[in-house]
Structure 1
């Protein structure tokens, strides 16, 4: 009988085992032999939990439940079916508990997420002299890793060293994994002490450093791994290294890895193929991403979504639409991620009709409860200026998390409704939802619409109270907000409060100095940034060049641009060349500026800068002047700025007939004239002065201030007195 049941168990013929058990039970045979009970209980686990409970009841009636081996089999049955309470009850009834009893109980707790109970059972077992086996030790270490208990991990590590089990490869790698999740410095010590390192140990170190935001170190470990275990590198390790390349934007290393994948024959690995597509996309190489995607022998929904997301990320919007069309033709059902990507396209094309169509698809496919999808819908409707639909969607949400509230605040801010945005923030606080850095950033944007500083200061205060003002993103937004109001002193204070200043923070402060007429301070900050080991990016250089241009520091600006070109760390963009044209124009080097425009094909903004230079250069070449005017009006015939600049240039040089001719041309072509304006802050209130509007209301307070300023300026002009600061 035993041999028959054992044979059926080996062949996993569970139904035949149960049939045989029922036959024996009906014939009156009492099964008390543990070696028979265990395969029968396994059959019950696979087919019918009720049969297992019935068998347990029979064992209780026979009075053999307390037998260690029988109790262990029943415990194992309950543990594998997730009935931990029943497992514990059987465990308590077993009179003599052996190592198997403790292993089942501890593993049962940990397997089902009861980490505290599992650790308590392990401690209790150790007190009673229990010697855990390798599988239990690995499981306990994994539990410590999940709950990230460093102190418990160190204790377990010490126990393993004393008991000598660290010589077992699986145990050693489990300890390494634990430390890699808790702290890479501990993992590195264990790794360095290992005499023989297998592919798992190397892979753990590579992925650990990548997850710890140290991708460069992870790449270094991988290179060592290839030298030592070139034939054993697996696909999982390659995935981690591709993530490192993505983080570093190192597409060259990514291509080398792609070649490595092809040589090793890993190109059939679906997960690896998806990772290659993601790497190329995020390294701004969508063509290579598309080729890698096409080369994949098998594709799943993740593959399609990865490629679609990559095209959207790289602003290949038409190509993304074509891919979505191909996806539908291939019969691939779009999921929530697919729909979110397509909604991003609606945002770009500003297409409310398509957005509504996708909304219908979302409802039909029952994705309306997916928070990511609904939040994206709210954002896209707002970008399409359908704020009433966005608000309706938001109000219909059953559960609103921080992202939902932040999205709605951003939606109102984008549509120029600051009062509503601030109102949503107050509702969020009343609902006891904790705002994060993104919430505060959206609130700052909403408050920045105000002409007074009262609300922006309130947003700043909220950021301070929430402990978020020192975060780089929030602190940068605050300093930028104050700089736009001309309050450079407070901008500087906000900058100094940022705990860890990054390139973006420095670039924003440099731009703030340039915008507010302090180019020397901008140059000093650039030097300080480099001293701190931060390399300027393209935005930083653009901010410095703009500061030099508007501050009259022509030579400094040219010197920085040449240094920037020689470094070859960042490729100059059209904006950089436009700024250089502005610098050359302001210094009177119009011929060089025009030569640069033609050589680099810079665009309308550079021609505008050159035209402005012609206005300031009274001895400029008349041929250049006429060419510039023709180019500006030809490139942007429907924009009033070119006409006004040309007219102003002619007027500045006393060519009144030409100035009048341009004005007539502007009128004949019916180009809409956008009036410029200036803002002056007096006693925390901002006043806007629109060019040509003489009928605007001025308060007595403001009239008095302007009169006082006018008198001070006259005194300054005639006496050469010191600079007046309001």
Structure 2
């Protein structure tokens, strides 16, 4: 016996063992290192099981070296081994060289199911759906049956490519072969149908004998995605009624999204409680979804409680809370949260910048808008259309319309949102002609306006109060088939009322097929705006006959109508009934209307008493004190007006109306020094008055 040969074989066996062990632990660099040591030692292994681990490691370590190993295997005659051929094919597939993989497949004499599966997987993984389906058909003709993972991948590929015909053919094959009853295959088919056709998905779901948590989640998610929220929530109730089905975090997040869409806080709280019971409430994804749900349901306190309880927060957590505060118009809290975010060292992203711009817009902070603009440029985010649209909107609301226009002109690509924002910006700054010009340019650019664009266009016409232009805008809405939409129809009602065409407003109101509470409130306000208080109150009563429950906005419209027409007793009666009959708590806007109602009638002391009685939650704002100040000017009560002046200017330091009212009041009382002081203060604080114009002289 040759002792050195025995030792060499032992050493070779150790090498092979180390290579296989490293491969099973995915230590691919060690695999190649041991193989190179073996080559340097001049060993010639005859065990074919050594090479699959080496070929598996090569794509991750040294793809170029793989061809050399392939050549070595050919020389030594190992390529004819089925397992070796499959490993060579897998190597080329992982390297993206599908042509060579097909060549190896074609030259392999003995193929098995693994050979076909590798090739089909290769094409599908690289997005070659047609070739993958063709290889699948060839495998069936050759008598080989792809495995379950390949079938699931085929369905997924058809789903990604929206290849519905191919998936129907595949579905038929699965039924014929008896494979369709396998749970993973059924769920994959269900996902595909839920993307396009919930009716087909529901039919298949009802036919399934065994439904697991994934099956239910797919159906719930499909309905929620299509905004059939109530159906989705009903399916969730059916799901949890089965004790054998345990919903996971993904299902619960989908249900929370449904609660957010439908503003169903009661259901949202029940889901939150169920999450705690199941121990799923500590998941970061779930916590972020809870913040979003509570925010969309206008319960920022609960959202903040969830946020504060989080032991770990990511960017999504901060942005969800920030978006919730902005959505609920808690701008001061949003500013505080932005500061806390900076202190915590959490990096802002593009979503954060959008929310900061929304806050800057509310507080009319032009310098902060410019600072965000600088950050956008520094980060290279000029291609983000949503972010630039928010910047244009913020600049316009800060009366920096020139900067808004510069951003708009500098954009390489503009979508319908950007065009609509620019139109709205010019409307806000009292420049209807410019807004119309942008809309016409939008048409020339063949960008199709949507409902938001048309609403902004109608707002432009409301600003100019020009009847011919308003009729043209109405015609645009009709041509686009958008006039029947409730939001567009409501905007048409408002537009005609601001032009003084109350009959056209009522006609547009009557033509809206599905009126909501905003539509009724708009028409009531239209009557009040045009001095038709009796018609406004009659329509309010008609609305209740249609079983439409008034909200806070409706009561504001009714009170405003009473105020404009001097119906003091009626206005006070409606103010009292909003709490007693409708269960609505008065807010600042309601108090403002009643103060205006009393002040216009000369009851200044009563108006002042009401302001003092306002609760802390409805603190008197600039509109309340402005209504009192206007009445003080009209009735020559400078003594009471002086107190109102300081409040108006403190609450709205950049609003020119307060300074003009104060100056006019002092001038009427002969206090010319005080009148001049008000004008100088307005100039010092940068409060600019928007110039008026006459429609008759145009």
Same fold (TM over 0.5): yes
Give the Cα separation in 1 of the matches to 2:34 and 2:182: 42
The counterpart of 2:355, out of the listed 341, 364, 388, is: 341
Q: Which residue of 2 aligns with 1:210?
A: 224
Q: Please provide the CA RMSD for this pair.
A: 4.8
Q: Which residue of 2 aligns with 1:332?
A: 346
Is 1:357 the counterpart of 2:362? The answer is no
Is 1:301 the counterpart of 2:306? The answer is no
Q: Which residue of 1 aligns with 2:669?
A: 664
Q: Which residues in structure 2 correspond to 1:320-469 (within 5 Å)?
A: 320-469=334-483
User: Shift of the alpha carbon at 1:135?
Assistant: 1.4
Give the Cα separation in 2 of the matches to 1:500 and 1:101: 61
The answer as to whether partners of 1:32 and 1:64 remain within 8 angstroms in 2 is no
1:135-191 per-residue CA deviation (whole Å, 9 max, x = no partner) reads 122223333433445555555444434433243222222233233332333333333
Q: What SS is found at the alignment partner of 1:298?
A: coil
Cα 1:606–1:57, aligned 2, differ >3 Å: closer, same or farther?
Answer: same
Q: Which residue of 2 aligns with 1:656?
A: none
User: Shift of the alpha carbon at 1:10?
Assistant: 0.8
Give the Cα separation in 1 of the matches to 2:441 and 2:46: 66
User: Shift of the alpha carbon at 1:380?
Assistant: 1.6
User: Shift of the alpha carbon at 1:119?
Assistant: 4.4
Give the Cα separation in 1 of the matches to 2:378 and 2:343: 19
Q: Which residues in structure 2 correspond to 1:273-288 (within 5 Å)?
A: 273-288=287-302
The counterpart of 2:184, out of the listed 153, 160, 170, is: 170
Q: Which residue of 1 aligns with 2:267?
A: 253
The answer as to whether partners of 1:451 and 1:687 remain within 8 angstroms in 2 is no
Q: Which residue of 2 aligns with 1:619?
A: none
Is 1:227 the counterpart of 2:227? The answer is no
User: Shift of the alpha carbon at 1:331?
Assistant: 2.1
The answer for unaligned runs of 5 or more in structure 2 is 1-12, 649-655, 680-691
Q: Which residues in structure 2 correspond to 1:505-524 (within 5 Å)?
A: 505-513=519-527, 515-516=529-530
Q: What SS is found at the alignment partner of 1:229?
A: coil
Give the Cα separation in 1 of the matches to 2:440 and 2:106: 54
Give the Cα separation in 2 of the matches to 1:364 and 1:661: 50
Cα 1:229–1:525, aligned 2, differ >3 Å: closer, same or farther?
Answer: farther
The answer as to whether partners of 1:607 and 1:632 remain within 8 angstroms in 2 is no
Question: If the length of structure 2 is used for normalisation, what is the TM-score?
Answer: 0.76
Give the Cα separation in 1 of the matches to 2:126 and 2:431: 49
Cα 1:593–1:125, aligned 2, differ >3 Å: closer, same or farther?
Answer: farther
Cα 1:698–1:342, aligned 2, differ >3 Å: closer, same or farther?
Answer: closer
Give the Cα separation in 2 of the matches to 1:526 and 1:143: 56
Cα 1:292–1:387, aligned 2, differ >3 Å: closer, same or farther?
Answer: same
User: Shift of the alpha carbon at 1:348?
Assistant: 1.7
The answer for unaligned runs of 5 or more in structure 1 is 614-624, 646-659, 674-685, 690-696, 700-726
Cα 1:30–1:464, aligned 2, differ >3 Å: closer, same or farther?
Answer: farther
The answer as to whether partners of 2:462 and 2:494 remain within 8 angstroms in 1 is no
- Name the stretch that deviates more: 22-31 or 479-488: 22-31
Question: If the length of structure 1 is used for normalisation, what is the TM-score?
Answer: 0.74
Cα 1:30–1:581, aligned 2, differ >3 Å: closer, same or farther?
Answer: same
Give the Cα separation in 2 of the matches to 1:670 and 1:240: 61
Q: What SS is found at the alignment partner of 1:342?
A: helix
Is 1:43 the counterpart of 2:43? The answer is no
- Name the stretch that deviates more: 564-573 or 360-369: 564-573
- Name the stretch that deviates more: 207-216 or 584-593: 584-593
1:508-544 per-residue CA deviation (whole Å, 9 max, x = no partner) reads 3454455456778767877887788865543345445
Give the Cα separation in 2 of the matches to 1:394 and 1:281: 31
Q: Which residue of 2 aligns with 1:486?
A: 500
User: Shift of the alpha carbon at 1:296?
Assistant: 0.6
Q: Which residue of 2 aligns with 1:134?
A: 148
Q: Which residues in structure 2 correspond to 1:45-194 (within 5 Å)?
A: 45-56=59-70, 69-84=83-98, 86-88=100-102, 90-91=104-105, 98-119=112-133, 121-122=135-136, 125-126=139-140, 129-148=143-162, 152-194=166-208
The answer as to whether partners of 2:360 and 2:394 remain within 8 angstroms in 1 is yes
The answer as to whether partners of 2:461 and 2:495 remain within 8 angstroms in 1 is no
Cα 1:353–1:579, aligned 2, differ >3 Å: closer, same or farther?
Answer: closer
Q: Which residue of 2 aligns with 1:239?
A: 253
User: Shift of the alpha carbon at 1:335?
Assistant: 1.8
The answer as to whether partners of 1:480 and 1:491 remain within 8 angstroms in 2 is yes
Give the Cα separation in 2 of the matches to 1:526 and 1:176: 49
The answer as to whether partners of 1:206 and 1:219 remain within 8 angstroms in 2 is yes
The answer as to whether partners of 1:381 and 1:387 remain within 8 angstroms in 2 is yes
The answer as to whether partners of 2:532 and 2:565 remain within 8 angstroms in 1 is yes
Give the Cα separation in 1 of the matches to 2:140 and 2:694: 77
Give the Cα separation in 2 of the matches to 1:612 and 1:634: 13
The answer as to whether partners of 2:533 and 2:562 remain within 8 angstroms in 1 is yes
Cα 1:12–1:353, aligned 2, differ >3 Å: closer, same or farther?
Answer: same
Give the Cα separation in 2 of the matches to 1:535 and 1:82: 63
Q: Which residue of 2 aligns with 1:720?
A: none
Give the Cα separation in 2 of the matches to 1:477 and 1:147: 40
Give the Cα separation in 2 of the matches to 1:636 and 1:385: 24
The counterpart of 2:29, out of the listed 1, 11, 15, is: 15
User: Shift of the alpha carbon at 1:339?
Assistant: 2.2
Give the Cα separation in 1 of the matches to 2:74 and 2:544: 78
Give the Cα separation in 2 of the matches to 1:132 and 1:662: 92
